[in-house]
Amino acid sequence: MADETEVVLTGPAKLRGAFKKPGETITVTPTERAQLLAAGAIAPDAPAADPEIVVDDPPQAAKTTRKAGSGKAKV
């Protein structure tokens, strides 16, 4: 469609049934763009995607495990 535009995600998003990671460049309709803006998944003043910019994956949160009955989480 002529109204579609490319945006770079600043946060995770689910679009058309698929999960997208921060840093991915996706093509969206004006309605989808408005929904992503409202959800905070794209920056309102973000420039157009630049193919020469490389975005590393964001750091992952530490997983915690817990032994049954120990009461303390291990990191």
Q: How many domains does the chain have?
A: 1
C-beta of residue 29 within 8 angstroms of C-beta of residue 4: yes
Position 35 in a domain: yes
pTM of the model: 0.57
Query: At residue 45, what is the residue type?
Result: D
pLDDT tens digits, one per residue of 22-56? 999 999 988 898 899 989 999 877 555 555 545 45
21 neighbors 9 (Cβ within 8 angstroms):
yes
**Residue 59: which pLDDT band, with cuts at 50, 70 and 90?**
low
Instruction: Say which residue the tokens 């291990």 belong to.
Output: 74
Position 43 in a domain: yes
Q: Evaluate whether residue 55 is within a structural domain.
A: no
Q: Please report whether residue 66 resides in a domain.
A: no
Give residue 20's domain range. Answer: 1-47
Mean pLDDT of 10-30: 92
